[in-house]
Amino acid sequence: MLNLEDFMNIRDLKQQGWSVSAIADELHLDRKTVRKHLLDRPQAFKRENPAPCKIDPYRPFLVLLGPKKNILV
């Protein structure tokens, strides 16, 4: 899967008038991959290391308390 930088490079090179084959050669990708990402809409950016959830330190306690107080964790 391509990261956001590669995806944007493909889009930028195409806007500059590069052919699909030239983009594929430049970025060391298959032509079909380049074509696929040119036709796709941009995907939502996902962090590689998402921040921990604020309730993570309390999750074990909430799991124990859940059935008593109808808490979904």
Please give the Cα distance from 45 to 6 (Å, whole number): 12
- Tell me the three state secondary structure of residue 23: helix
- pLDDT value of position 32: 95
Percentage of the chain beyond pLDDT 70 is 84
- pLDDT value of position 53: 86
Domain count, the chain: 1
Domain CATH code at residue 59: 1.10.10
* Structural domain for 59, as ranges: 4-69
**CA atoms within 13 Å, Cβ hemisphere of 21:** 0
Tell me what the mean pLDDT of segment 1-5 comes to: 78
Please give the Cα distance from 37 to 6 (Å, whole number): 10
Are the C-beta atoms of 7 and 42 separated by less than 8 Å? yes
Decide: pTM greater than 0.75: no
